[in-house]
A and B are shown apart, each in its own frame.
Chain A
Amino acid sequence: MQAFTTMKGLVAPMDRANVDTDAIIPKQFLKSIKRTGYGPFLFDEWRYKDVGQPEMDCTHRPLHSDFVLNQDRYQGASILLARENFGCGSSREHAPWALLDYGFRCVIAPGFADIFYNNCFKNGMLPVVLDDSIMDRLFAECSANEGYALSVDLNTQTVSTPSGASFPFEVDAFRQHCLLNGLDDIDLTLQDAAAIQMYEARQKKLAPWMF
């Protein structure tokens, strides 16, 4: 997994609550058996006027010009500002894969759906939770300043604005450790293989019907 330490990037605002994973990547793209290639179809229904199909060439598809990611000033964005309950709905990891493949490494929101939040960490992507009032400020600054960029530091757990304001955020120590070092957590868990075997031996006596 790709490590995440610090980044500075152009910010795009997704100013709506409850953005679900069906919106982030519609179901027809879930038929792929790969982890990559979802970027062109990120937010497909909001981004394009026609209905996208897997593996189609997106370069000449008709665009909804007012959709935020289609605006010139947000091209190349790598940080997404979002609202409450971002990533709700299905457990599809295709959602973080699509965001990542598009170029986002960090999503900042007042709250995330649990499974989506968890899925981000497995893919070297950082979900940052900040208070509503701070989010309002970031959204306002972002829309007022073209080229608005934020710095995100996972070591110090802070988001910093161009004017020098800085906001702390919380991340579990274990998740921070894995993300900072790009660790594969299967390897980590397998270091506990003996404990798992011991657990199984005990359970087989206590609840043999489970096996």
Chain B
Amino acid sequence: MAKTLFDKVWDQHVVKTNDDGSVLLYIDRHLVHEVTSPQAFEGLRIAGRKPWNVNAAVATPDHNVPTIDRDKGIEDPVSRIQVEALDANCKEFGITEFGMDDVRQGVVHVVGPEQGLTLPGMTVVCGDSHTATHGAFGAIAMGIGTSEVEHVLATQCLIQKKPKRMRISVEGELPVGVTGKDVVLYIIAQIGTAGGTGYAIEFAGSAIRSLSMEGRMSVCNMAIEAGARCGMVAADDVTLDYVKGRPFSPKGEQWVLAEAAWHELHSDADAEFDHEIVFNAGDIVPQVSWGTSPEMVLPVTASVPSPVDARDAVQKEGWERALVYMGLEAGVAIEAIEVDKVFIGSCTNGRIEDFREAARVAAGHKMAANVKLALIVPGSGLVKKQAEDEGLDKIFIEAGFEWREPGCSMCLAMNADRLEAGERCASTSNRNFEGRQGAGGQTHLVSPAMAAAAAIKGHFVDIRDWEFKG
């Protein structure tokens, strides 16, 4: 029978099917960070349990780590205790950890693929909703809560109900200046933040296939913002080229075996989906979020909407509240919105390609006078090193931006990097929720190029008209 990509990977991981149709699903890779794991390790300790397969788990601290003066350690005692708890737990249970002073440390969803820990056809979980990122490799990658972190540590399995399958195809050629980030923001704006609830989404079509692995990861990363259980892209040569030669990826004979298996990781031609949507790549222009939900997104050429035009009463109320929180008035052109801060980084856009794009925009320009801070935060120590080898750090510093150490940073502001109340930010992260980047902070989600351009001009601009000087 014809199978979807999701079904192929799922079926291969079913240990047992229960009477009610739920299954015991085997988990190949478990990524761990400091925020959602301490209570899980504590649970293991209390019950006297050991990790089932200690090699399946790999940890790194990311949410709480400082992005400056690493050698001074973490100033905030509460943050420090949490990172120290991760170090101690990994040591006690024998789990591999890339600690704060390891060059391999970084945002867990950047580190996994970079190390070859994320492989096509795997099941990958992490106590973090943006685990969806790893689906870019043709893996089933799901965010889980802390109780499930404990469950996976103890049993290497999860009890799961099979989600429905949805395919979102983006066909045609993406216009110049339109990135994976714009594609996914566009999709969420169309289907809404609950549009994917109950589904595993496969992103397909020629525009998705044309993306690099970095671009595909940006798309899958935000599948969760559409409410989906996970996002996936079929494995192809682009995937295999990326995976080959990474520290944890298979070598020699094992690589040959794996490669053969991975070539099967696509939906069969006549596979059926519960829901199918097709978008035209040519319709997508650079996107900017204007409100407090990732579905409140518009083309950069548009103006802030009026609640009068809302679909129903619930949306109208949401828009009204968002306008007040964001300090915006209906009818204002997106390009007229000025920003105070800029953040380029996160698990959505903290990879080498993202910094190359941003640097290409920034090269030869200076940051606008009204911008207080443009923070460039690599997704991992290795991304940082590579960017420095390519001289990108110098371009950013020359333009007046700040070049920092890797971590989640101002994506959620658990460390010292944050927005103050009333500050407006162009951010390459994934959530524009109220208070996400700091209490009272106003977030606009954009691509790295769009964020860099906003830092240079002091307001949003259409990157398609950019004067490249580099």
Contacts and interface: CB of A to CB of B under 8 A. Distances in A.
Given A51-B439, A88-B194, A209-B254, A33 B16 contact: no
A153 interface: no
Nearest to A196: B15
A91 B143 contact: yes
Interface string B16-56: 10111010101010000001101100100001010011010
B145 A91 contact: yes
B129 A195 contact: no
A33 B38 contact: yes
Interface string B137-179: 0000001111110110011110101010000000000000000
B257 A93 contact: no
Contact of A90 (B42, B119, B129, B148): B129
A199 B26 contact: yes
Nearest to B314: A17
Nearest to B261: A207
A35 interface: yes
A31 B227 contact: no
Contacts of B144: 91, 115, 118
A111 B197 contact: yes
A97 B56 CA distance: 27
Interface in B100-159: 119, 121-122, 127-129, 131, 143-148, 150-151, 154-157, 159
A209 B155 contact: no
A31 B145 contact: no
Contacts of A54: 78
A60 interface: no
B318 A17 contact: yes
Contact of B197 (A35, A51, A85, A93): A85
A26 B441 CA distance: 13
Contacts of A91: 36, 127-129, 131, 143-145
Nearest to A114: B229
B339 interface: no
Interface stretch (A66-74, A143-151, A161-169, A183-191): A183-191
Contacts of A174: 18, 20, 22, 159
A30 B47 CA distance: 23
B159 A92 contact: no
Interface in B60-96: 63-64, 76, 78-79, 81-82, 85
Interface stretch (B352-360, B363-371, B429-437): B429-437
Interface in A70-93: 83-85, 88-93
A181 interface: no
Contacts of A113: 194, 197, 227
A114 B197 contact: yes
Nearest to A198: B15
A2 interface: no
Contacts of B431: 20, 22, 89-90
B317 interface: yes
B414 interface: yes
A81 to B, nearest CB: 14
Interface residues of A, number: 57
B166 to A, nearest CB: 13
A172 B194 contact: no
* Max chain B Cβ within 10 angstroms of own Cβ: one of A91, A119, A173: A91
B250 interface: yes
Contact of B147 (A111, A122, A188): A122
B413 interface: yes
A55 B81 CA distance: 14
A172 to B, nearest CB: 6
A164 B193 CA distance: 35
A55 B86 CA distance: 20
A45 B128 CA distance: 22
Contact of B193 (A16, A18, A200): A18
Contacts of B161: 172
A196 B439 contact: no
A199 B47 CA distance: 25
A32 interface: yes
A190 B81 contact: no
Given A18-B318, A31-B414, A33-B81, A85 B193 contact: yes
B145 A93 contact: yes
B78 A31 contact: yes
A196 B35 contact: no
Contacts of A172: 20, 22, 161
Contacts of B436: 22, 27
Interface in B245-292: 249-250, 254-255, 257-258, 261
A200 B55 CA distance: 13
A203 interface: yes
A186 B318 contact: no
A16 B154 contact: no
* Max chain A Cβ within 10 angstroms of own Cβ: one of B161, B194, B255: B194
Contact of A114 (B19, B227, B439): B227
Given A31-B79, A85-B194, A91-B128, A203 B143 contact: no
Nearest to B38: A33
Given A45-B434, A192-B16, A207-B258, A119 B147 contact: yes
Given A85-B227, A89-B129, A209-B254, 8 more contacts: A30-B414, A33-B82, A55-B78, A89-B431, A172-B20, A189-B24, A189-B151, A190-B155
Interface of A: 16-18, 20, 22-23, 26-28, 30-35, 45, 51, 54-55, 83-85, 88-93, 96, 111, 113-115, 118-119, 122-123, 172-174, 185-186, 188-190, 192-193, 195-196, 199-200, 203, 207-211
Interface of B: 12, 15-16, 18-20, 22, 24, 26, 28, 35-36, 38-39, 42, 47, 49, 52-53, 55, 63-64, 76, 78-79, 81-82, 85, 119, 121-122, 127-129, 131, 143-148, 150-151, 154-157, 159, 161, 163, 193-194, 197-198, 227, 229, 249-250, 254-255, 257-258, 261, 293, 314-315, 317-318, 321, 412-414, 431, 433-436, 439
11 contacts: A18-B193, A22-B412, A27-B436, A30-B35, A32-B78, A93-B36, A93-B145, A186-B151, A196-B52, A199-B15, A208-B254
